[in-house]
Structure 1
Amino acid sequence: MKRRDRIIAMLIAVVLLMGLGGCSSKGKQRSISGIPDPIQTKTEGSTTMSKAGYDINILFLYEYDIDALVVSTKRYKGSSLADKIAPVDLALAWGSAAAYNTECNIKWSQSGRWYYWECRDSSAFTKAGGEDGINKHSSNHHLIPATSDVEKKIKAVKIGDRVHIKGYLVNVNASDKSGHVFDWYTSISRDDTGDGACEVVYVKEIEVQ
């Protein structure tokens, strides 16, 4: 083998190893039984921040406490304000969706701030409550970290982790000096689907259990 060919082969091997390492760091799907529904309690309050030239007001609607199985993670590294304030989305499952995750062989994915799922074992689908059961026991969460330490913890979360998150369901209103505005509204129900059904969460605490 020529020296140039050896170098190319070595580079390919390194890339493959890096790819395998990246895959393993994403975690592995599993099931967990007995995870309760998220708890939300009506509240008042707000906080502010400045990012990407925007003055941002974050309005607290509900205190939010969720214990859940992480079924998908998505990093957003773009230049949009949403990407700046919420660089990670977590798709979370609890109840029947978490209990029958592997038995249903659910394929989870995220894109464009949405999450998607597909049950690939129809025999187990009924046990999980069918489409309604999965939809009511899973959701995509846009996570706004309250501190840099919280952000680091969020970015370290992987598929298969069981996480406990405390914070607030929030609405976000922002504007810059040029008059551009940005609004982001949270879902306040676990029963909704489609556009607007994701939770926007100002995260005060997150722990992997």
Structure 2
Amino acid sequence: MWRWLLIIVVIFFGWRHCSTAEISYAAPDKVIDQAPQQSEVSGLQPISFDKYAIQPVAEFALEARVLAREDYWLGREADLSPTDLVLGWGEMADPQVVKQINIRQSGRWYFWQVDSFPIPRRSIETQSANMHLIPANDEVARTLKQISPGQLITLQGYLVNVNADDGWRWRSSLSREDIGANACELIYVKQLKIIS
């Protein structure tokens, strides 16, 4: 029985990661010129979340197109953030651009690949990001479960750093200009809306 269960799991994940299902882009002509908005905060008390302390470090808001999503069930990060979204704004919210970029997620990372650049490399790097989302309430969690690639969303909350009593830490990037390790935003999401 365990052998069959393992085979089914392997087939499912193989299909999921190799599927070439066409993304349906909502409001394909909508332009999102504004980059995510960030402003520093100080003096806010940590937010208790199970066995973690979530420290807000900046207010954060954006309107963006969802380019990819990945759900997680294992690990400490999944206790806090069950879903990562790759979000795009500016040229990276344009379906005609995004269709020319192979985007995927794995292990809390965002990867992209092109045959030829539809826009400059730096525009891809600075107008898209992998964001780890911590739902602040049940309504946000329900909305997050409904989000699909191609949709347009708005969100508001805080960029945060997380600490556990045993010394474990998870830190948010505070810049849209960085790439590579530690470049993802860790967001405590207070409001989340699908706008398309």
* SS in structure 1 at match of 2:168: strand
C-alpha distance in 2 between matches for 1:42 and 1:101: 34
AA aligned to 1:192 is D
Structure-2 residue corresponding to 1:74: 70
C-alpha distance in 1 between matches for 2:145 and 2:172: 21
Structure-2 residue corresponding to 1:158: 148
AA aligned to 1:86 is S
Post-superposition offset of 1:83: 0.4
CA contact (8 A) 1:85 1:144 kept: yes
**What's the Cα RMSD here?**
2.6
C-alpha distance in 2 between matches for 1:101 and 1:174: 43
Structure-2 residue corresponding to 1:48: 47
Post-superposition offset of 1:109: 0.6
AA aligned to 1:208 is I
Please state if 1:118 is matched with 2:108: no
Question: What stretches of structure 1 move > 2 A for 4+ residues in a row?
Answer: 23-35, 46-51, 99-104
C-alpha distance in 2 between matches for 1:26 and 1:205: 28
Structure-1 residue corresponding to 2:86: 91
List gaps (5 residues or longer) in structure 2. 1-10
Q: What is the identity percentage for the equivalent residue pairs of Structure 1 and Structure 2?
A: 30
C-alpha distance in 1 between matches for 2:22 and 2:46: 32
TM-score, structure 1 as length reference:
0.76
CA contact (8 A) 1:170 1:185 kept: yes
AA aligned to 1:194 is G
* SS in structure 2 at match of 1:143: strand
CA contact (8 A) 1:29 1:102 kept: no
Deviation per CA, 1:48-72, whole angstroms, max 9, x where unpaired?
3343xx2x11111110011000000
Deviation per CA, 1:146-201, whole angstroms, max 9, x where unpaired?
012211111211000100000001111112xxxx3320110010000000000000
Structure-2 residue corresponding to 1:65: 61
Structure-1 residue corresponding to 2:130: 140
Find the structure with the greater CA-based Rg.
1
